[in-house]
């Protein structure tokens, strides 16, 4: 029987985040011909509605109020619950992003339902939705069955592939006005200070070039940016490199940093500690450069170069420039 699935569309820097389309792909696995609706807060954008429709949304709830132009947990929670009441979904999916991680438990508590977080996949078995999530920093996986109604889960970005846009699809746009309670308005965001980040967004990059403690300095990281620019890649870092102040913590990849799944991950001077691997092991192709042939990173690398990264990098730059 068809299921009604509600998903959250997230915007960042004037663009819908890829995770908005990934949760739609996840919703399709559940819907089985049922209805899929996306939620869009604070933005009356036909362009976004069309993009969501092309990736599988049958309906888009556009919720408008000045309080929704900026993320505030309680305001978003209240608006989200309004849409849940209106749409009456069988399942709700939200990206496991900083906003999703903050908002989902509050919504679950308010609706008095459970929440299954940080899933990398899902399947339907005997009419039950079975979610898969990594545990022990990605060393093992656990499967969880959802019994609540509606089923509520967060989906880790970059794991469920978004589907190709279907230009023939369209969606019904439902515009809702909304007034937050006085309680929700207690928190006011006065200013958002964005970290200046160079180039491509790390969490959505197709190519990531990451440096570890082996890069040895901030200046060393500048060389990574040079290669990143040629490749159209994002720069990442190990915690070792962040702790040593060679790179900003916003670049940290791993268990306590960002999870990336690019087509190509280049690890330079990174030992391959389990906590780092937890954030990049699902990359399609992993290339490692390390002067220690016993470095654990070589156990998961598809291609490994045993050598000094300061000798390998200039060769790489020359080769790439010659292409
Ligand atoms: P190191 O382990 O010091 O390795 C440096 C590597 O560079 C070595 O393998 C060395 O052979 C190589 N090298 C040195 N010079 C050169 C050269 N010239 N050319 C080539 N290779 C060279 N770590 C993360 O990355 N992300 C996380 O999210 C994270 N979360 C953590 C959470 C917890 C709770 C804990 C306890 C730890 C966490 N860590 C995390 C830290 C992790 O355990 C490692 O300490 C860290 O990943 C090591 O960083 P590194 O590989 O850059 O440094």
Q: Could you please report the per-residue DSSP string of 271-302?
A: ---HHHHTTTTT-SEEEEEES-TT-THHHH-S
Does the reported pTM lie above 0.90? no
210 lines ligand 1 (CB under 6 A): no
Provide the sign of the torsion angle of the four alpha carbons 37, 41, 44, 45, taken in this order. Answer: negative
Q: What share of the chain is helix, strand, coil (3-state, %, to 5)?
A: 35, 25, 40
Angle, to 10 degrees, between the axis of helix 18-31 and the axis of helix 46-54? 40
What's the pLDDT at 136? Answer: 82
Query: Does the annotation list 273 as a binding residue?
Result: yes
What's the pLDDT at 318? Answer: 87
What's the pLDDT at 148? Answer: 87
What's the pLDDT at 319? Answer: 86
Compute the distance between CA of residue 315 and CA of residue 289 in angstroms, rounded to an integer.
13
Spell out a b/e string for 173-201, using b for 16 or more CB atoms within 10 Å of the CB, else e: beeeebebeeebeeeeeeeeeeeeeeebe
Over the stretch 79-103, which tens digit does the pLDDT of each residue have?
999 999 999 999 999 999 999 999 9
What count of other Cβ atoms lies within 10 Å of the Cβ of residue 315?
Answer: 11
273 lines ligand 1 (CB under 6 A): yes
User: In the predicted model, is pLDDT for residue 259 greater than 90?
Assistant: no
Of the listed ranges 136-145, 159-168, 300-309, the one predicted with least confidence: 136-145
281 lines ligand 1 (CB under 6 A): no
- The vertex-174 CA angle with 113 and 107, nearest 5°, equals 20
Distance 267 CA to ligand 1 centre (A): 10
What ligand 1 atom has the least distance to the C-alpha of 255?
28
Per-residue pLDDT band for 179 (boundaries 50, 70, 90) equals very high
- The vertex-15 CA angle with 12 and 19, nearest 5°, equals 70
Pocket test for ligand 1, best of 265, 271, 313 (most atoms within 8 A of CB): 271
ipTM surpasses 0.85: yes
Beta bridge mates, 290: 306
Mean pLDDT of the chain: 94
291 lines ligand 1 (CB under 6 A): yes
309 lines ligand 1 (CB under 6 A): yes
Mean pLDDT to the nearest integer, 290-315: 96
What's the pLDDT at 196? Answer: 60
What's the pLDDT at 19? Answer: 95
Mean pLDDT to the nearest integer, 212-226: 95
What count of other Cβ atoms lies within 10 Å of the Cβ of residue 50?
Answer: 18
What's the pLDDT at 288? Answer: 97
240 lines ligand 1 (CB under 6 A): yes
What ligand 1 atom has the least distance to the C-alpha of 213?
52
Mean pLDDT to the nearest integer, 12-20: 89
Per-residue pLDDT band for 146 (boundaries 50, 70, 90) equals confident
User: In the predicted model, is pLDDT for residue 197 greater than 90?
Assistant: no
Query: Does the annotation list 69 as a binding residue?
Result: no
312 lines ligand 1 (CB under 6 A): no
């Amino acid at each position: 029987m068809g299921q009604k699935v509600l998903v959250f569309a997230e915007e960042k820097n004037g663009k819908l985040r890829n995770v908005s389309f990934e949760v739609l792909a996840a919703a399709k696995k559940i819907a089985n011909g049922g209805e899929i609706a996306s939620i869009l807060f604070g933005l009356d954008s036909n362009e976004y509605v069309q993009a969501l429709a092309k990736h599988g949304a049958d309906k888009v709830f556009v919720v408008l109020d000045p309080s929704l132009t900026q993320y505030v947990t309680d305001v978003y929670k209240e608006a989200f619950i309004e849409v849940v009441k209106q749409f009456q979904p069988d399942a709700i999916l939200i990206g496991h992003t900083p906003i999703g991680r903050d908002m989902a438990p509050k919504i679950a508590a308010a609706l008095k339902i459970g929440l299954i977080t940080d899933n990398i996949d899902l399947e339907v078995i005997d009419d039950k939705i079975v979610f898969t999530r990594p545990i022990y920093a990605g060393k093992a996986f656990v499967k969880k069955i959802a019994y609540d109604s509606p089923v509520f889960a967060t989906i880790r970005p970059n794991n469920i592939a978004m589907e190709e846009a279907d230009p023939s699809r369209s969606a019904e746009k439902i515009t809702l006005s909304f007034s937050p309670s006085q309680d929700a308005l207690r928190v006011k965001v006065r200013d958002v200070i964005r970290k200046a980040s160079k180039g491509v967004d790390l969490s959505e990059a197709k190519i990531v070039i990451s440096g570890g403690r082996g890069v040895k300095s901030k200046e060393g990281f500048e060389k990574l940016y040079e290669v990143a620019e040629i490749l159209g890649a994002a720069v990442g870092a190990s915690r070792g490199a962040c702790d040593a102040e060679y790179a900003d913590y916003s670049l940290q990849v791993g268990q306590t940093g960002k999870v990336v799944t690019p087509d190509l991950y280049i690890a330079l001077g990174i030992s391959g500690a389990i906590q780092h691997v937890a954030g990049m092991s699902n990359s399609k192709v992993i290339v490692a450069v390390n002067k220690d042939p016993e470095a654990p990173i070589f156990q998961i690398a598809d291609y490994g170069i045993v050598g000094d990264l300061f000798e390998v990098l200039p060769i790489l730059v020359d080769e790439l420039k010659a292409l």
